[in-house]
Structure 1
């Protein structure tokens, strides 16, 4: 038993039923002599939730809570990030990043209600999730003890974990020859490990993909869809009003069938290393693209260009685990102000992994055919541009005159 931890009598564990958390239950009991309560945050893992209650109890948990957080996750985390247009390093749609805070919030709530002495998680010491979980826990209870077995136990690899599980008759949640490290929720699936650790290797999509088909296997005919937004939030597909979770589920099916949203990324983790992963975001990719198209006609140039900068910072804040921070809240306040007129309909054509614009309308459109036309118009006097160009070019002209004067004096 680990010394100096006799005060830990009851632990709430962030439990997924995967390899890491499956072996964490017996490890905590063996090393702390404590009661373990498993908590599952349902953020749309679908069939991954099947059998978790029985498995957790068999593994040694005294009880298990399976909390449905999907609506809260989508409405308060996913759509807040979508409105910001935030993509980490320009590609990653933050599927794991913003799921951790909502789960951690629930962990603290249950730890308080159950009188737990500590919260535990199965995140590795190499990853970002340890930061995301722990910052969120500290935001709601700065004094809560946090246990991270990966930082202290003797197990050094997934192979060691498998052996540990076998010795204790804990059923493995995957085939031993296909042990990608995966995270799934309603927004995405991430895949890491095995052959994906080598950036020079093309992924074998027959083994990797679960939500999408490879683009070359998508239908030969395009699929058209229309998405309606109100103040930056998607509210309907093809004219049918839906709640957020149903919109994402529907677009996941449509997008997945068309090979949409498959990203092979090498990203920079917060801890300093580069890692490679394959992400599936069929519904997310569609919503991001539709939202970008709608903003192109509803945001003025200055606001759009400044929001692009905010989007980068927003993504960094979320990726680095600071969802519950004054900065994220302040960024969201700016973003929500920009979304007041981001209302309208976007039509898209989906074809073999491509998302193609097929039309966009909005009652708040700033696009004017009269001003933009190459034909004759009665609203724009092209002679006015002469004075504008002269003033706009003034600093360039003065700089050039100075250089010419210096050159002549030297000669």
Structure 2
């Protein structure tokens, strides 16, 4: 019987332990990692070299940056999704696409088993297991770290006993970089009272002063930066390169994990925050108040479902259809000023700007109705409140 197994391989201690132990247990291990914007060519080569040291039969790196944008990030922009009004879902959004790509790869090579290195305490175990179970219920999921409840030292000792001599000292800060932002975890984020120190963030302040950037959106998508057109995912990377020297986009997210406990994590997501805020400003000018209102709560549901691994529920396609249809008029330029540690939105130019109406300017003289029209409207508009207070007034 074939014991072909695909492992979601990052190259860290947990997935290295899984690769070695499963190979020793007689599985034909095929390692795969998914690039959603966080890998350089050199890093991929390094991970591949290490994977073969762990005894895997093959290693594959899947470039899914464009897929990540088209299937997830695009809708996070359309919805201006910031979980708890701060976090652009940098890591949780990536995990969904990684899980889908890995299980599809496992199916394509006829694997009977699939493994990941998640523990039993976090969100990723839920996201990976749910995607795997839904798309390939016939493939058995194996999770050595979760099942064996291993300590970090036990994993290191096991690898050393099998001739794997590598530096496994845990970095003081864990950093997960991707297209839509970088998460930063450390001892400070394990409790509630301390900020992350300056040096923990991947981008340090290198520029002073102010730099103007013009972002062009076409039907809600970022299609050009400073007049130069590229694919939206490339423009996000370009914008991040412009903003990173200003150390923009830092914050600490506090949220509810899928398993019911509170979690705290630092992040740096300059391009994500600037794109969302610029896009939202353009929407304020180009959408009606009812479009804006209904988009807000649907986008909140979208972000929550995505965070909790419910990406494959058909309601997500329904919400995506609504979000995409809302972007028909969301085109124009937004001027942003980059400054040390923050940015400001200067204004927009759009052919669909609803401030350019012929009816008049807010707070100034109107051109579309008479004073008597206004009085009649106000009298009828206030009927509901007047009736309520007359019926329920104390007499």
Shorter-chain TM-score: which interval? over 0.9
Q: Does 1:298 align with 2:286?
A: yes
Secondary structure of 1:39's counterpart equals strand
Q: Distance in 2 between matches of 1:187 and 1:161?
A: 31
Question: What does residue 15 of structure 2 align with?
Answer: 21
Residue of structure 1 in register with 2:382 after alignment: 393
Unaligned runs of 5+ in 2: none
SS at match of 2:148: coil
Q: CA deviation at 1:19?
A: 2.1
CA–CA separation in structure 1 for the residues paired with 2:8 and 2:310:
19
2:26 paired residue among 33, 38, 41: 33
Contact 1:19 1:173 in 2 (8 A): no
Match of 1:90 among 85, 98, 104: 85
Answer yes or no: is 1:252 the counterpart of 2:252. Answer: no
1:299: how far off? 0.7
1:235 to partner: Cα distance: 0.5
Cross-structure match for 2:53: 58
Q: What is the deviation of 1:375?
A: 3.8
After TM superposition, the structure 1 = structure 2 runs for residues 215-254 of structure 1, keeping only pairs within 5 Å, are 217=205, 219-254=207-242
1:104 aligns with 2:92: no
User: Aligned-pair distance for 1:389?
Assistant: 2.1
Distance of aligned partners of 1:247 and 1:171 in 2 relative to their CA distance in 1, 3 Å threshold:
farther
> What is the deviation of 1:377?
4.4
**Structure 2 partner of 1:205:** 198
Q: Give the deviation of 1:101 after TM superposition.
A: 2.4
Residue 280 (str. 1) matches residue 280 (str. 2): no
Once the two structures are TM-superposed, the CA of residue 189 in structure 1 deviates from its matched residue by 1.3
Q: Which residue in 1 is equivalent to 2:179?
A: 186
What SS does the aligned partner of 1:98 have? Answer: helix
TM-score w.r.t. structure 2 length?
Answer: 0.93
Greater CA drift, 188-197 or 332-341: 188-197
Would the alpha carbon gap of residues 294 and 74 (structure 1) be closer, same or farther in structure 2, given more than 3 Å must change? Answer: same
Correspondence for 2:65? 70
Does 2:367 correspond to 1:378?
yes
SS in 1 for 2:326: helix
| Equivalent residues, number | 392
2:80–2:277 CA contact under 8 A, matched in 1 = no
Say whether the 8 Å CA contact 2:6–2:29 is kept in structure 1. yes
Rate the CA distance shift 1:172–1:203 in 2: closer, same or farther, 3 A. farther
TM-score normalised per structure 1 = 0.89
Within the alignment, does 1:10 sit opposite 2:7 as a pair? no
2:297 to 309, 321, 335: 309
Distance (Å, rounded) in 2 between the aligned partners of 1:174 and 1:372: 64
Which of 98, 123, 127 is equivalent to 2:122? 127
2:39 aligned residue: 46
| C-alpha distance in 1 between matches for 2:165 and 2:283 | 49
Q: Give the equivalent residue in structure 2 for 1:3.
A: none
Deviation of the 1:376 alpha carbon: 3.6
Residues in 2 aligned to 1:101 and 1:190: alpha-carbon distance in whole angstroms: 16
Aligned equivalents of 1:347, 1:398: Cα separation in 2: 47
What's the counterpart of residue 118 of structure 1? 113
User: Greater CA deviation, 310-319 or 218-227?
Assistant: 218-227
Give the aligned CA root-mean-square deviation in angstroms. Answer: 2.0
2: CA distance, partners of 1:171 / 1:266: 37
- Given that 1:19 and 1:172 are in contact with CA atoms closer than 8 Å, whether structure 2 keeps it comes out as no
Alpha-carbon contact 1:218-1:351 (below 8 Å) kept: no
